[in-house]
Chain A
Amino acid sequence: AQSVTQPDIHITVSEGASLELRCNYSYGATPYLFWYVQSPGQGLQLLLKYFSGDTLVQGIKGFEAEFKRSQSSFNLRKPSVHWSDAAEYFCAVGLTSGTYKYIFGTGTRLKVLA
């Protein structure tokens, strides 16, 4: 069955430090992969997505993610975290068999220390 795993429920980093949020997926075909961010009281906003081609994708707000097929991973990174990055981050797989749907991970809540 298709699934998305985000092993870290909470992560705390200091402002200015680097960040890596982990995401592993299980899907038989080449996946469509997404990272969304949810700021407090807000809806989900798309950070970046991967369909094909270059396995390192750039997104908004200085985020990037790398697709590694051999590890079934799509980890999100940022070289220097800002206090405004504190939010919850969701990794998702897009299913293309049948009707297009998203399968979301359980989310990682990021806390940024000043």
Chain B
Amino acid sequence: NAGVTQTPKFRVLKTGQSMTLLCAQDMNHEYMYWYRQDPGMGLRLIHYSVGEGTTAKGEVPDGYNVSRLKKQNFLLGLESAAPSQTSVYFCASSPDPGFDTEAFFGQGTRLTVV
């Protein structure tokens, strides 16, 4: 019963480096989301996907790219990391766009950009 799994759990990057965060879900959910969590700001939506092959921008998409080539995976990329991207990143998935069903969250990835 893995649910939503995020890889890696921790990472330290130097400014300008690139990396990809992987979110994998085994519940056959259509909808997947990437959030960032910053102190005093709650969770903010970066990008989301309504199905395989589709992505859309959320509240704070700048500096990030995403891909959903397979239904079970949602990748978040940082092409040139900046200190402002130091944050905890959460992935979530849900079976449909409504709120009658629960969204499931991963354990988070703590990223530090120095």
- B-binding residues in A (CB < 8 A): 4, 9, 32, 34, 36, 41-46, 49, 51, 90, 94, 96, 99-102, 104-107
Please, which residues of chain A bring their CB within 8 A of the CB of B99?
32, 34, 49, 51, 94, 96, 100
B90 touches A44 (CB 8 A): yes
Please, which residues of chain B bring their CB within 8 A of the CB of A104?
35, 42-44
Shortest 8 CB-CB contacts between residues of A and residues of B: A43-B105, A104-B42, A100-B97, A44-B105, A104-B43, A94-B99, A32-B99, A106-B42
Name A106's contact: one of B35, B40, B100 (CB within 8 Å): B40
Please, which residues of chain B bring their CB within 8 A of the CB of A32?
99
Known interface pairs A51-B99, A99-B97, A102-B103; A43-B42 also in contact (CB < 8 Å) = no
Known interface pairs A43-B4, A90-B42, A106-B42; A101-B103 also in contact (CB < 8 Å) = no
Interface band, chain B:
20 to 34
Is the contact region of chain A dominated by helix, strand, or loop, or is it mixed?
strand
- A-binding residues in B (CB < 8 A): 4, 31, 35, 40-45, 48, 50, 56, 58, 90, 92, 97-100, 102-103, 105-108
Known interface pairs A51-B99, A90-B43, A106-B40; A101-B108 also in contact (CB < 8 Å) = no
A101 touches B58 (CB 8 A): yes
Closest to A9 in B: B40
CA distance A32 to B4 in the complex (A): 23
Please, which residues of chain A bring their CB within 8 A of the CB of B48?
99, 101
CA distance A90 to B4 in the complex (A): 19
CA distance A44 to B90 in the complex (A): 9
CA distance A42 to B104 in the complex (A): 12
Least distance between A23 CB and chain B CB atoms (Å): 11
Name A102's contact: one of B4, B45, B106 (CB within 8 Å): B45
A41 touches B42 (CB 8 A): no
